[in-house]
Chain A
Amino acid sequence: MGIRVSNLIKRFGDFVAVDNVSLTVGRGELVAFVGPSGSGKSTILRIIAGLESADSGSVYFNGEPADHLHASARGVGFVFQHYALFRHMTVAANVAFGLRVQGVARPERERRVGDLLDLMGLQGLGQRYPSQLSGGQRQRVALARALAPQPKVLLLDEPFGAVDAKVREELRHWLRKLHDEVRVTSIFVTHDQEEAFSVADRVMVIQRGRLEQSGRPDEILDTPATEFVARFIGEANVYETTVHEGCAAVGRLRVAAAGLAEATAVSLVIRFYDLKFWRDDEGIATVVRMTTLGDRVKVEALIDGGVRIFSQFPRRSSLLHGMESGCRIHIVPTLTRFYPRGAGGGSVPAADPAQTPEKARPILEYPANSTAF
């Protein structure tokens, strides 16, 4: 079932949780809402489920308005962050609950519960109580329970937030695999960008109750529409600077800004991995610290003029040869993005980016491929 949300607004007192959000989720799609906590993404999900009512705006299921439908009549499967399993019921009774209240006969119920427990890898756990399960198992029971009444939409609110990192990784694969098998239209909310990118067909970045950008994971990575997206997705250096003679200066580092008017105030965003450092005694910066993070090395340097910059390299990268704390280096950004100053701060009136694409785009994207080695 397709979902369309139009001009949704929700306030809690003075706080605007959802600020004029419009979005569309196609039939059978797996979409991630990603954003910092408190950005309103869970509220949008709960409004779609009917657990919360919007102050204005509408939700459409397959083009039909759903606003008047009670949560129990929407045919939505909802998975809660803290599982919300019925603690006084066995796993099997939990999974069967939706079928039971809808009056499905017992033999059919039992058959379906058995199928779902198999699908979720929960064989043999049907007679346990939720308190006797691990976090990962509980979350799979919650998923099975939500799927049992064959919902038209599956909504997951921070589904893997309460389990440890290793189980989370496992559950992500589960969700992806499950979606490939069941193909039910699904939205999940997460504050973890890696989770969003590794699981979803499409990612919607939400901040301060607004939809900042919607697109395929690589689209969002390659062409972040706003400064917020650029700095939120992937780790990035952000500098506020001004264009002067076709260049933006960050200390002694000069970044080409051809095509931008003289004296334009800009935010310059450079991802950690869009930078090249190499040892050069005539360089423009000094290495302050090198931190090994598993298979990568994070290098912190101080550009002459007192500006800090971070970069990240594969551990075996040839660029790291001879590099050590205190040495001089040269810096070349391979991909830079300029945004109008303050755009990420929420001043972009972007309700539906499809309608106002220009305003949301970076004013200049600079792949400095010519200088790449």
Chain B
Amino acid sequence: MARLEGARSLSPGQCAVVLTVCAYIGLVLVLPIVALVSRAVAQGPAPLLAAAGDPAARGGLVLTLVLAAIAVLANGIAGVVGALVMVRQRFLARRVLDALVDMPLAVSPVMTGLAFLLVFGRGGWLEPALGLLHLKVTFAFPGLVLATLFVTFPFTLREVAYVLAELGTDEEQAAVTLGASAWQTFWLITLPNIRFGLGNGIVLTLARALGEFGAVLVIGGAISGKTQTATIFIYNAVEERQEPAAYAMALVLAFASIALLVVIEWLKRRRSAEN
């Protein structure tokens, strides 16, 4: 209620609350980003260029982008199909499944990496099968993919499920009575209607994939030029006291994150403009 009365009429108590919130956000969210950017900028463009010429840095960045692209594609499809099933179907294990979807959000990524090692690593459950197929998962690219898919799984599904539940089935039923097949209904009605939810999910998936560290570190082993992602590159650079390289890479990732934030805001606007 008090907020509706406008900014001018804040009581001293309300002022204190607003200031506290601002200070908190400043300390926790803004300050670290500002410090990172100013440090990276202060060292000038030289380290950035140097990093761009460094095959390890370039390799790490490309690896991260490839992993993010795979996560977006795979979890985008799985998310849409999964959301359709969870929202539209009524089956016995639905609630259990519903809780399972959120598990990657609750489990520490390092534990995720460990768990994957237990399944795919030396002496793991699936090791005999993998051996037959001559497939190496741990400390190799497939392991990184699995870990990334795991940690990014919930985002698209959750965002799309939320939109689907809001949407209801009236429009789809209307399409069906007009003679549309299930396939036509999906492409012409359902997909366009969930596009903002899907967009949001993709952006969150991208953000999470770009920033993932713990799981890929444990399952990938941080092998330079092979399983060293952008975040692991930063970590290793700090360890090896090559701070300029670390800040350069961090700056690249920070810009990517800011770009994603802008996309999220844009999606929000478009969505509210449509409704």
Q: A interface vs B, CB < 8 Å?
A: 49-51, 70-78, 80, 82, 84-88, 97-98, 101-102, 131, 145-146, 148-149
Is B173 touching A84 in the complex (CB atoms < 8 A)? yes
B177 x A76 contact (CB < 8 A)? yes
Tell whether B184 is near chain A: CB-to-CB under 8 Å. Answer: yes
Whether A97 lies near B178 (C-beta < 8 A) is yes
Residues of A within 8 A of B174 (CB): 78, 80, 84-86, 145
Given contacts A87-B193, A149-B179, contact A82 B170 (CB under 8 A): yes
A131: chain B residues within 8 A (beta carbon): 274-275
Interface residues of B in 160-206 (CB under 8 A from A): 170-171, 173-181, 184, 188-189, 192-193
> What chain A residues lie within 8 Å of B173 (beta carbons)?
51, 71, 78, 80, 84
Q: Are A101 and B178 touching (Cβ within 8 A)?
A: yes
Distance in angstroms between the alpha carbons of A78 and B171 in the assembled complex: 11
Given contacts A84-B170, A84-B174, A86-B174, contact A72 B193 (CB under 8 A): no
Of A50, A70, A86, the contact of B171 (CB 8 Å cutoff): A86
| Residue of chain A at shortest CB distance from B192 | A88
Determine whether the beta carbon of B177 is less than 8 Å from that of A49: yes
B160 to chain A, nearest CB (A): 16
Q: Are A78 and B177 in contact (CB under 8 A)?
A: yes
Is B178's CB under 8 angstroms from A87's CB? Answer: no
Residue of B nearest to A80 (CB): B170
**Are A72 and B189 in contact (CB-based, < 8 A)?**
no
Contacts of A75 in B (CB 8 A): 179
Name the one of A49, A72, A87 contacting B274, with C-beta atoms under 8 angstroms: A87
> Which residues of chain B have C-beta atoms less than 8 A from A84's C-beta?
170-171, 173-174
In the complex, given contacts A51-B176, A85-B171, what are 7 additional A-B residue pairs having Cβ atoms less than 8 angstroms apart? A51-B173, A72-B179, A76-B177, A84-B170, A86-B174, A87-B193, A146-B177
Q: Which residues of B contact A102 (CB under 8 A)?
A: 179
Distance between Cα atoms of A131 and B274 in the complex (Å): 8
Q: How far is the CA of A76 from the CA of B177 in the complex (A)?
A: 6
CB < 8 Å: which of A71, A85, A88 contacts B177?
A: A71
Residues of chain A within 8 A (CB-CB) of B192 are 88
Q: Once the chains are docked, how many angstroms separate the CA of A12 from the CA of B254?
A: 54
| B184 engages A101 (CB within 8 Å) | yes
Inter-chain contacts of A51 with B (CB < 8 A): 173, 176-177
Least CB distance from B90 to A in Å reads 12
What separation, in Å, do the CA atoms of A78 and B179 have in the docked complex?
Answer: 11
Complex: A98 Cα to B176 Cα, angstroms: 9
How far is it, in angstroms, between the C-alpha of A49 and the C-alpha of B179 when the chains are bound?
Answer: 12
**Nearest CB in chain A to that of B275: its residue:** A131
Measured between alpha carbons, how far is A82 from B177 in the docked complex, in Å? 15
Residues of A within 8 A of B188 (CB): 97, 101
| 6 shortest interchain CB distances as A-B pairs | A98-B178, A84-B170, A78-B177, A84-B174, A101-B180, A88-B192
Would you mind naming 8 contact pairs between A and B with Cβ atoms under 8 Å apart?
Answer: A49-B177, A51-B176, A75-B179, A77-B178, A86-B189, A98-B179, A102-B179, A146-B178
A residues in contact with B184, CB < 8 Å: 101
Q: In the bound complex, do residue A72 and residue B177 qualify as a contact, i.e. CB atoms below 8 Å apart?
A: yes
Task: State in angstroms the CA–CA spacing of A83 and B14 once bound together.
Answer: 45
* CB proximity of B192 to chain A, nearest CB, Å: 5
Q: Do residues B175 and A97 form an inter-chain contact, with CB atoms below 8 A?
A: yes
- Within the complex, the shortest CB–CB distance from B244 to chain A, in Å, comes to 48
* Bound CA span A202–B181, Å: 34
Q: Complex formed: what's the CA distance from A101 to B179 in Å?
A: 7
Query: Considering the chains assembled together, what is the distance between the CA atoms of A72 and B175 in angstroms?
Result: 8
The complex places the Cα of A145 from the Cα of B175 at a distance, in Å, of 10
Per the bound structure, the CA–CA distance linking A146 and B193 in Å amounts to: 20
Let me know if A72 and B170 touch, CB within 8 A. Answer: no
CA distance A77 to B174 in the complex (A): 9
For B189, the closest partner residue in chain A by CB is A86
Instruction: For residue B142, give the distance in angstroms from its CB to the closest CB of chain A.
Output: 39
Q: Are the CB atoms of B275 and A71 closer together than 8 Å?
A: no
Q: How far is the CA of A86 from the CA of B181 in the complex (A)?
A: 16
Q: Which residues of A contact B274 (CB under 8 A)?
A: 87-88, 131
Contacts of A78 in B (CB 8 A): 173-174, 177
Residues of A within 8 A of B193 (CB): 87-88
Shortest beta-carbon distance, B83 to chain A, in Å? 18
C-alpha gap A349/B178 in the complex (Å): 37
**Considering residues B174, B175, B188, B189, which has the most beta carbons from chain A within 10 angstroms of its beta carbon?**
B174
Residues of A with C-beta under 8 A to B189: 86
Q: Hey, which chain B residues are within 8 Å of A70, CB to CB?
A: 176
Q: Give every chain B residue within 8 A of A101 (Cβ-Cβ).
A: 175, 178-181, 184, 188
Q: In the bound complex, what is the Cα–Cα distance between A85 and B173 (angstroms)?
A: 11
**For residue A74, which residues in chain B have a CB less than 8 angstroms away from its CB?**
177
| Chain B neighbourhood of A50, CB < 8 A | 177
User: Please, which residues of chain B bring their CB within 8 A of the CB of A148?
Assistant: 178
Nearest CB on B from A48, distance (A): 11
Question: Which of chain B's residues have a CB closer than 8 A to the CB of A88?
Answer: 192-193, 274
Chain B residues whose CB sits within 8 angstroms of the CB of A80 once the complex forms: 170, 173-174
